[in-house]
Structure 1
Amino acid sequence: MGRLTDAIKHLLIINILFFVATSIYGDQMYQWFSLWFPKNENFAFWQIVSHMFMHGGFMHILFNMYALWAFGTPLERMWGRNKFLFFYFSAGLGAALIHTGVNYYYFNQGLEALVNAGMGESQLIEIIAAGKYSPDWYNIAPRSVIDNFLSAYSTPAVGASGAIYGILVAFGMSYPNSELFLIFLPVPIKAKFFIPVLIGLDLFSGVTGYSIFGSGIAHFAHIGGALFGFIMMWYWKKNQFNKNRWDL
């Protein structure tokens, strides 16, 4: 890929600095900068952006930063710094929006089931805010409903993956016939085939709850980033945006 482009370089630096700080300060960083459910007392408005620079471990940041470099570099060279940054953060914000919207659905679904069983809404929120729950809740609603209810409130989202999925979509639409050489595949695969399959697997995992990638993955954030990336690419292509509008 040659020399690092400006936006990629600075995004890499900021992500690494956040990762180092998280390694030092741990839970305090997750409390301040992860994206919490809006009804959670840890939620703050800046988390809509700051969560994009937080990661849950070394492999998490390694794969995200590799994808940012590998797929983002040709896009920044094609678009320029400002348009690339606009796209990147827009996809990340779209991912946060979809992820939070799905969590609202899960939270309200579980809350409604428990309230209809005669429990008080404020009492329920006090219980889960304290990190507790009652095993009896699983006798009131299906396990998946209660699990999603608890997870939506208590599990924060971290990572650049939503923005990265937007980048993947943009790369696939801009360079559809580029052949990708992947560690887990013995043969090269074109971007126009690999990226839709990857997004399809996330959609399958998000809907069914069965993840082939492992647990603790915000599948709907990935889908949100991909969706917003597609919408922006479609709009820009339709309107033939002049890249010079983004140059300062």
Structure 2
Amino acid sequence: MGHIIADLKETFRRGNIFIQLIYINVGIFVIGTLINVFLRLFEVSTPDIFGIFALPASFIGFIHQPWSLFTYMFMHAGILHILFNMLWLYWFGSLFLYFFSAKHLRGLYVLGGICGGFLYMVAYNVFPLFSSQVAGATLVGASASVLAIVAATAYREPNYRVQLFLFGAIRLKYLALIVIGIDVLSITSSNAGGHIAHLGGALAGLWFAASLSKGTDLTSWINWILDGFISLFQKKTWKRKPKMKVHYGNSATGREKDYDYNAQKKAQSDEVDRILEKLKKSGYDSLTTEEKKSLFDASKR
């Protein structure tokens, strides 16, 4: 068991940001489900733990649990719910990193969830159709966050083709339009809240990509907060400073190593700039397999 946990930790540490987000979502779902199964077996009456982290539709409910605007995007109502969300996050998370950075993905995941949750609350408190439901309705799921990633990728590279089972190749812009269209047509269905949140997430993704193309990163403040929060839990290791040692002799070898390293870094940077320029002019499909790999590796550095 210890080896399994160690392997999971190592995979999480080495994984891309979308892999880490999948681990977090699945981990929360598994732990929550196991706790629920255990308590039900012993018929233990407990408070609604799930509801504490779900986003209420009413503004009064939200005031009592403001953290739910963040926590709801990591909660899921069932196996199929989390399965499809994580599959979409895996597929489009990997594609997103071809065009944006890992921090952009992390920040947009949160931004999409916030915008989706906010639109959900506004809609349920504005439209008369939901007036009888607003008091007890809640929202969970990463769908809004995932749709933000899909929409941003489609905005950045609209003509990129993805292969769909049974449907064949389809351009990203059409896939995004189909998904958004389905959500618009479904906002009066039994899962109205989920579809409204999807639209909020998609709008956030388009907003992010459009702003970034003009030089404004809408996720910078989110990443600043997340980095500060993460740093609170990182262990500080205090090491004794080694005594200074003086080496006599020819230092040319050291200078040569520094020069080689700097030259290599510059060559890598120039290559990435060349690929990005080609991507901008001719699109993603024009890149060779080696160029795609170089761009993907650069996004992880």
For 1:138, the equivalent position in structure 2 comes to none
Superposition deviation, residue 174 in structure 1:
2.3
Q: Given residue 167 of structure 2, which amino acid in structure 1 is its aligned partner?
A: P
CA distance in 1, matches of 2:24, 2:74: 7
Q: Matches of residues 205-224 of structure 1 in structure 2 within 5 Å?
A: 205-206=186-187, 209-210=188-189, 215=191, 218-224=194-200
Structure of greater relative contact order (alpha carbons < 8 Å, 6+ residues apart): 1
Aligned residue-pair number: 200
**Among 107, 113, 137, the residue aligned to 1:92:** 113
CA separation of 1:82/1:187 partners in 2, compared to 1, >3 Å: closer, same or farther? Answer: closer
Name the structure 1 match of 2:164.
Answer: 182
Query: Is the contact made by 2:53 and 2:75 (CA closer than 8 Å) also made in structure 1?
Result: yes
Residue 139 of structure 2: aligned partner: 157
**Which AA in structure 2 matches 1:33?**
F
Partner in structure 1 of residue 154 of structure 2 = 172
| Aligned counterpart, 2:126 | 105
Deviation at 1:197, TM superposition (A): 1.6
Taking only aligned residues, the RMSD between alpha carbons, in angstroms, comes to 3.0
> Which digits, 9 at most, give the CA deviation of each residue in 1:124-165, with x for residues without a partner?
xxxxxxxxxxxxxxxxxxxxx3xx223222121000000111
1:196 pairs with 153, 174, 177, which one?
177
* 8 A Cα contact 1:162 1:222, kept in partner: yes
* Conservation of the 8 A alpha-carbon contact between 1:5 and 1:73: no
Residue 140 of structure 1 is matched in structure 2 by: none
The equivalent residue for 2:203 is 227
Cα 1:75–1:5 shift into 2, 3 Å: farther
Alpha-carbon distance in 2 for matches of 1:176, 1:88: 20
Letter in 1 for 2:211: Y
Larger Rg: 2
Confirm or deny: 8 A CA contact 1:35 1:43 kept in the other structure: no
Choose the corresponding residue for 1:236, options 208, 212, 222.
212
CA separation of 1:215 and 1:102: change in aligned 2, threshold 3 A:
closer
User: Which ranges in structure 1 are unaligned for 5 or more consecutive residues?
Assistant: 110-144
Q: Which amino acid aligns with 1:201?
A: I
- The structural deviation recorded for 1:167 is 0.6
